[in-house]
Chains A and B, each alone.
Chain A
Amino acid sequence: MTTEDSKPAEPQAAAEPPKDPNPPQAQYVAPKEATTSSSPQADNEAPPAPDFEALAKREIMTPSNKEVIVVAEQAQGQIQSVTLELLGAGRDLANKLGGKLSAILLGHNVKEASKKLIEYGAEIVYVADHPELENYRTLPYRRVVTDLLKTFELPPHIMLLGSTTTGRDLAPRIAAHFDTGLTADCTELDIGPYEHTNKADPDKLGIYPGCLYAIRPSFGESLKARILGPWNNPQMATTRPGVMIPLEPDANRQGEIREIPVNLKPEDQRVQVMEIVREMQAGVNLTEADVVVAGGFGLGGPEGFEMLKELAACFENGVVGASRKCVDAGWIPYQHQVGQTGKTVRPKIYIAVGISGAIQHRVGMNKANLIIAVNKDPDSPIFQVAHHGIVGDLYHIIPEMVRQLKASGAKVNGGEAQKSLAQ
């Protein structure tokens, strides 16, 4: 469908550039090499009946320097854990590709911190150290990262960012800048070949070795999708904090620190940070909690969370979590959300109350040591990941659990607990 339809509109496409005030995309330094296999326009000019079988067998290497580059994240000069996790994942990808693992670190007075990236596996650290980069801002960070990539003779093969409020803000801008593919919130990353067999796209037919497999849960239940972008480099992906595993740090690892220039333009200053408030103590520390008591749509309303708070309060380090539906419904703030678009948690105990357990939720909690599920529907997918389950009315089960825990706590803790019970 796309090929037929695209023909009549061709003249219009040709007439377009003067109308568009925004020149679409930056090109790499070696655009001729970069376009040999991937430009549809170029192939359309030579259309004698293609030999599909021969085309499908050709091996296509999209130009890259095989580098895997991680965009590091720092706050107040501290490298964030998601960056170390990405280096762990990136190390594996770089080994499979036979390329180098690098990181780009932006900030102010971060040269010391850059050594940590080497300890965690980076072979090259590009450091942009500048007062204007102290706090993350979209446009200056985008400028420095895209400027760096344009100095490469060949683009890096893969670029990874954290799926955080920073990474999800920056990654799509870099991807759009270079017209390259980006997959959000991956739960697994791998390298492998891809065979393009769709004859509607003869210019793309062929076998592409060394593609990034960006794997993430897809819409709906129980499916995960492998998403590829073999035609452009860098192939980009983000992963959530807590999903990938960092390497053991090793102070003997060798790496090279390269300072890179910072050339901001006046238009990069269109957003200014006025104030940053970190409310660690007041906030909800889902990822550090021993016990997460999470509520789902089965609670029926916001009042259900009052009951869950009471259960969470029974524990030394218990926190209330929630499924996205509850957050969307406004029953509880976003900070409590567990799952693909919320936090990924690995508590000692996860109690899922009235949560059906869609895949988007399960990927955020299925690594908990112990999962207890309470749900009225015995067929809920949550029971597929739980270790212990109770089927029934959560409004009877949870208060009973609170009662029994308080009674047992009183026995364990003696007089002090007795006192609090009496209050």
Chain B
Amino acid sequence: MSSINDIFVLIKQVPDQSAKAGINPDGTIDRAKAKRMLNPFDRYALQAALHTKQKYGGRVTAISMGPPPAVEILMEAIEHGADMGYLLSDRRLAASDTLATAYALHKVLLHLGKPDLVFCGLQTTDGDTAQVGPQIAERLDLPQVSYCEDFRVEDGKVVARRVIEGGYQWVKMEMPALVTVANSYHPLAYKSIRGARRVQMLLRNDDEKAKVIKTVTLDDVGADPVKCGLKGSPTIVAKTDKVAEIGGSCVVRQGEPVEVMVRDVLQNTNLREFVSV
């Protein structure tokens, strides 16, 4: 039990919020037009999975759920050193909330067999819930450490440092287990030359690509479609509103010398009352 065999890392493709493309004027998002990227939080999870492999051995499988273009992030994971990619892609998954997503993904994990460690990003930038990781752990009856910012494997157990309010804690956890990785963990290293070459090869060779990156459907993993998508989601977005904020009351200074603008702000606010230099 001291060596590691299988490491899973769950990743998601999200719209790039810094790119203007695909952001409708009303603030909603056109996912077809938006620029796509690997969820920034998942970069830490991927790094944690690759660290585990480097230090303790094993095989890293990157797993995602989403429409077919999500293969791009599986390729990206392979460029960084992941061994395999799995994409669960099925139209019946549309409009899944976190519970339905966790149900579908836990089916993929069961389909692939029991891993020693499952890594997830803390949350995604398009949902911000931090729920899917723990919900998968609940469905698989795995112990979990969330907000993990450092860890090692010792005597077949995970020794992890976890962020808490105003500090941190060290915990020791039996495997198999699920870890959600905080963004205070090490940033993702550069792509490896070997990984980049491998992806180049896969892009030229469809047979090899099919062996390394597999796309599966709900039927392939034995998931009940009634528990997925809109039907399987206990929550619904009932209404969206513009955020009401008191706008237009801001006194904006522009085009004057910096010294004048700064002095004007200091004269018209109580900022000086807090000074202690």
Contact = CB atoms under 8 A, between A and B. Distances in A.
Given A271-B173, A273-B169, A405-B271, A231 B237 contact: no
A180 B222 contact: no
A226 B23 CA distance: 20
B128 A138 contact: no
Nearest to A194: B238
A387 interface: yes
Interface stretch (A16-24, A95-103, A243-251): A16-24
Q: Which of A185, A274, A370, A420 lies at the interface centre, i.e. has the most chain B CB atoms within 10 A of its CB?
A: A274
A181 B187 contact: no
Contacts of A218: 27, 237, 240
Interface string A161-194: 0001110110111011101111111000000001
A397 B262 contact: yes
A175 B135 contact: yes
Contacts, number: 339
B40 interface: yes
Given A184-B129, A270-B174, A373-B250, A334 B184 contact: yes
Most buried by B among A166, A348, A405: A405
B58 interface: no
A406 B276 CA distance: 8
Contacts of B135: 172-173, 175-176
B225 A405 contact: no
Nearest to B167: A278
B105 to A, nearest CB: 12
Interface stretch (A83-91, A107-115, A121-129, A410-418): A410-418
A359 B128 CA distance: 13
A314 B236 contact: no
B263 interface: yes
Given A384-B250, A405-B275, A420-B277, A6 B231 contact: yes
A374 to B, nearest CB: 9
Given A184-B129, A400-B262, A404-B263, A276 B169 contact: yes
Interface in B245-277: 245-255, 258-259, 261-263, 265-266, 268-272, 274-277
21 contacts: A172-B138, A173-B137, A176-B99, A219-B15, A219-B126, A220-B28, A224-B242, A227-B238, A267-B141, A270-B143, A270-B173, A271-B173, A271-B174, A279-B166, A317-B274, A328-B183, A386-B250, A389-B253, A390-B254, A401-B265, A404-B259
**A-B CB proximity, top 9 nearest:** A181-B234, A181-B235, A176-B138, A278-B167, A172-B134, A172-B131, A13-B224, A316-B276, A270-B143
Interface of A: 1-3, 5-6, 9, 12-13, 16, 19-20, 22, 24, 40-41, 75, 80, 135, 137-139, 142, 164-166, 168-169, 171-173, 175-177, 179-185, 194, 200-201, 213, 217-232, 267, 270-280, 283, 290-291, 297, 313-318, 325, 327-328, 330, 333-334, 340-341, 348-349, 358-360, 362, 366, 370, 372-373, 378, 383-393, 396-397, 400-401, 404-406, 408-410, 412-413, 417, 420-421
Interface of B: 15, 17-18, 23-24, 26-29, 40-41, 91-92, 94, 97-99, 102, 110, 123, 125-135, 137-141, 143-147, 159, 162-174, 177, 182-184, 187, 218-219, 222, 224-226, 229-231, 233-243, 245-255, 258-259, 261-263, 265-266, 268-272, 274-277
